[in-house]
Chains A and B, each alone.
Chain A
Amino acid sequence: MQRHFVLRVTTKLLMPFILLFALYVQFHGDFGPGGGFQAGVIFGAGFILYALVYGIESARRVAPAGALRVLISAGLLLYIGVGYAGLALGASFLDYNVLSAPAPKGQHLGIFLVELGVGVTVAATMVTVFFNFAGRGRD
């Protein structure tokens, strides 16, 4: 799809908005519809669009396999880490109330971090799966 001029230009125009929208869904998920799962798949889909139009090679330069591998684990570790943070501060696993002083604030912080972990893992997994499928065809 390297030669389709319209596709290339449109993709380039849309890319920032798709990624920005994913970030909006991620960080505004507390107030509107959205959250880590949705943001992760939107981010992944946007990235896949880029890779489809501009080729796997240029997409791989943006997200090398090693970095993706680290991100997949980092998201899950962040989630579990938030759980252990509650444990370390003297409450139960995944109890957010102790993370920050006035009562609902800790909950908000915990939800934010946990959703971030979800988003990172989901996005990285989707992109990794895509690369593995798309990279299989060529040797």
Chain B
Amino acid sequence: MDALGLYNYWIVIVLMMTGFYVVVSRGNLVKKIVGLNIFQTSMFILYISMGKVAGGTAPILAEGFETYSNPLPHVLILTAIVVGVATTALGLALVVRINEAYGTVEEDEIQLQDQEA
């Protein structure tokens, strides 16, 4: 197997790790959620890359096409995207409420306030 065949997966891993790094290293809650989104999208790309068949076409059956890409990952990711935005909205709602309660969205300051209390 040639190196180019795995290029997609490597970029996915780079993206995934970038998202992961944003989540663990940044204290700002909004940025953490953006990081989670990057992580999530990299996962989507991983699945869709696996479903691709060389020379295939989109899995909508039609005359004159023989090879189709694998439709199963598409289904899984399709629902995952919409669920992802719904849960992102929930996370952002929590951030808004945290901001209302603490007056900040920085993790350190929130912990500081908790310790003072």
Interface residues of chain A, those whose CB is within 8 Å of chain B, are 31-33, 35, 37-38, 40-41, 122, 125-126, 129, 132-133, 136
Contact = CB atoms under 8 A, between A and B. Distances in A.
Nearest to B61: A31
B72 interface: no
Nearest to B74: A33
Q: Give the interface SS of chain A, mostly helix, strand, loop or mixed.
A: helix
A133 B64 CA distance: 48
Interface string B36-69: 0000000000000000000000101000000000
B33 interface: no
B93 A32 contact: no
A40 B82 contact: yes
Interface of B: 58, 60, 78-79, 81-82, 85-86, 89, 92-93, 96
A40 B79 CA distance: 12
Nearest to B58: A33
B78 A37 contact: yes
A41 B82 contact: yes
A14 to B, nearest CB: 22
B79 A132 contact: no
B79 A133 contact: no
Contacts of A122: 82
B58 A133 contact: no
A129 B82 contact: no
Contact of B89 (A35, A38, A129): A129
A132 B97 CA distance: 12
A40 B82 CA distance: 9
B27 to A, nearest CB: 23
B68 to A, nearest CB: 13
B76 to A, nearest CB: 12
A132 B93 CA distance: 9
Nearest to B59: A33
Contacts of A33: 58, 60
Given A38-B78, A126-B85, 15 more contacts: A31-B60, A32-B60, A33-B60, A37-B78, A37-B79, A41-B82, A41-B85, A125-B86, A129-B86, A129-B93, A132-B93, A133-B89, A133-B92, A133-B96, A136-B96
